[in-house]
């Protein structure tokens, strides 16, 4: 068993964060309305201001919901890398230390302040460590969702439907805008961006869902892409809610930071699911905003901040690279809720337990 301590997190990882390169998109893919994989941007959505005072429960009965209990491993991400390599005639993971979903990096970045545990599986292959979520753990810790939880989860997807269009705004989108509240909400469709980024000396390929784009893709692929992340949140009225919201914002910030999504759009709702207002935040301004709000509450500096999270992640990845370099088989990365350490140990001595696909392995063996 190898362990990485998270004790004294705030002091050990304090200080300026190392120079960070902006994440760059290397490719993207879509899932269509049936969750079939498409190597294109067909499911990319375009932001267009939603109408206020709309009931986010409208259409709850006809929600087309993706069954996320099925373990999708890294399959579509690996498929997209194979496609990219075929198109560009180069190895996409050359010099890349880690390949994973954005969700895994969000969990790592928000240790230990966000109080959840996690389990991941890791495989070292040809110089790169591939990390996926341990689906069994995810299922076992999820708990059963009650009616209100299910409805609140629907509100998030409904907000996405109310705030986006299938193509950039022009005169012909008027009908689509007016029909948005009657559209069937379907979360099987998704658009995913795959970026290359780094933490200190660790280079990573990270893939994650992107909700929409502010304008449209830049003509010049070297330019940043104005993606936006959409979120819903309860209107903040009490001190208790401020602290909760602050924690949520930290997760939102980490999520968007990882893919280089520059804007966060928050739809505030009341307890009955009525959309009351919309706020647009710049991702990079969020850590300072949280610090100011925390201090203004008389709570002193927050125990978690962007630099600490980045420094912690940099140190952890550096350590993990050494532990897993050249190792065979499948490894587990585990953090127990409010734990003092992240644990890494071997699960099986050979094989990849589905972390890598046969298609990917066959392509690499060619
Ligand atoms: P909100 O974040 O607005 O609540 P994402 O914001 O990551 O793109 O996710 C879109 C929506 O999926 C969320 O909207 C929420 O409704 C739902 N969702 C995401 N993660 C969830 C979880 N762990 N449990 C329940 N619903 C979730
Ligand atoms: Mg999303
Ligand atoms: Mg979202």
ipTM for the whole complex: 0.94
Q: In the predicted model, is pLDDT for residue 241 greater than 90?
A: no
- DSSP category for residue 16: P
pLDDT at position 352, please?
98
Taking CA atoms only, the protein residue closest to ligand 1 atom 14 is 156
Taking CA atoms only, the protein residue closest to ligand 1 atom 27 is 153
CA of 147 to the centre of ligand 1 (A): 15
**Residues at Cβ < 5 Å from ligand 2 ion:** 209, 211
Band the pLDDT of 244: cuts 50, 70, 90: confident
Give residues (CB < 6 A) around ligand 1.
153, 156-157, 159, 209, 211, 231-232
Q: In the predicted model, is pLDDT for residue 351 greater than 70?
A: yes
Residues 6+ apart with CB under 8 A from 302: 246, 290, 291, 294
| Average pLDDT score over residue span 276-298 | 91
Distance separating alpha carbons of residues 192 and 308, to the nearest angstrom: 27
| Average pLDDT score over residue span 13-35 | 90
Distance separating alpha carbons of residues 330 and 74, to the nearest angstrom: 14
pLDDT at position 13, please?
92
Q: In the predicted model, is pLDDT for residue 240 greater than 90?
A: no
Taking CA atoms only, the protein residue closest to ligand 1 atom 24 is 153
| Average pLDDT score over residue span 98-112 | 95
Band the pLDDT of 145: cuts 50, 70, 90: confident
pLDDT at position 296, please?
85
Point out the ligand 1 atom lying closest to the alpha carbon of residue 211: 8
Taking CA atoms only, the protein residue closest to ligand 1 atom 13 is 156
Helix axes of 102-109 and 306-324: crossing angle, nearest 10 degrees: 110
Helix axes of 306-324 and 286-296: crossing angle, nearest 10 degrees: 120
List residues bridging with 23 in a β-sheet.
none
| Average pLDDT score over residue span 149-167 | 97
> Among 265, 324, 334, which residue's Cα sits nearest to residue 111?
334
H or E stretch covering 309: helix 306-324
pLDDT at position 19, please?
66
| Average pLDDT score over residue span 33-51 | 98
Burial class, 121, CB count within 10 angstroms (exposed 0-12 / middle 13-18 / buried 19+): buried
Evaluate whether 233 touches 66 at the Cβ level (below 8 Å): no
The predicted model scores a pTM of 0.96
| Average pLDDT score over residue span 149-168 | 97
Please, what is the average pLDDT of the chain?
Answer: 94
Q: Which long-range contacts (CB under 8 A, 24 or more apart) does 187-190 make?
A: 187/63, 187/64, 187/65, 187/66, 187/157, 188/31, 188/32, 188/33, 188/34, 188/35, 188/64, 188/65, 188/66, 189/30, 189/31, 189/32, 189/33, 189/35, 189/43, 190/30, 190/31, 190/35, 190/43
Evaluate whether 268 touches 241 at the Cβ level (below 8 Å): no
Evaluate whether 118 touches 334 at the Cβ level (below 8 Å): yes
pLDDT tens by residue, 207-233: 999 999 999 999 998 899 999 999 999
pLDDT at position 366, please?
87
CA of 359 to the centre of ligand 2 (A): 27
CA of 168 to the centre of ligand 3 (A): 19
């Amino acid at each position: 068993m190898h362990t990485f301590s998270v004790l004294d997190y705030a002091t050990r990882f304090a200080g300026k964060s190392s120079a960070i390169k902006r994440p760059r998109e290397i490719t993207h893919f879509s899932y269509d309305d049936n969750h079939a994989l498409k190597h294109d941007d067909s499911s990319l959505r375009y932001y267009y201001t939603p109408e206020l005072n709309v009931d986010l429960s409208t259409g709850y009965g006809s929600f087309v919901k993706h069954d996320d209990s099925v373990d999708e491993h890294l399959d579509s991400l690996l498929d997209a890398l194979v496609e990219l390599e075929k198109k560009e005639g180069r190895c996409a993971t050359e010099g890349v230390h880690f390949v994973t979903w954005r969700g895994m990096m969000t969990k790592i970045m928000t240790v230990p302040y966000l109080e959840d545990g996690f389990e991941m599986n890791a495989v070292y292959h040809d110089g790169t460590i591939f990390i996926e979520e341990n689906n069994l753990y995810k299922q076992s810790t999820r708990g059963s969702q009650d009616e209100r939880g299910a409805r609140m989860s629907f509100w998030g997807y409904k907000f996405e439907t109310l705030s986006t269009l299938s193509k950039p705004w022009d005169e012909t989108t008027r009908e689509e805008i007016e029909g948005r509240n009657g559209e069937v909400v379907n979360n099987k469709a998704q658009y995913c961006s795959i970026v290359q980024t780094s933490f200190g000396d660790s280079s990573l390929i990270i893939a994650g869902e992107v909700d929409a784009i502010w304008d449209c893709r830049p003509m010049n692929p070297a330019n940043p892409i104005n993606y936006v992340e959409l979120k819903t949140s309860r209107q903040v009225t009490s001190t208790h809610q401020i602290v909760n919201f602050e924690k949520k914002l930290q997760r939102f910030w980490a999520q968007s930071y990882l893919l280089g999504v520059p804007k966060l759009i928050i739809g505030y709702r009341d307890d009955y699911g009525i959309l009351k207002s919309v706020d647009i935040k710049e991702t990079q301004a969020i850590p300072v905003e949280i610090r100011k709000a925390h201090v203004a509450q008389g709570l002193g500096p927050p125990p978690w901040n962007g630099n600490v999270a980045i420094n912690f992640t940099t140190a952890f990845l550096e350590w993990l690279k050494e532990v897993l370099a050249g190792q065979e088989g499948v490894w587990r990365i585990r953090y127990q809720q409010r734990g003092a350490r992240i644990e890494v140990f071997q699960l099986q001595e050979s094989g990849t337990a589905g972390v890598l696909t046969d298609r990917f392995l066959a392509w690499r063996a060619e």
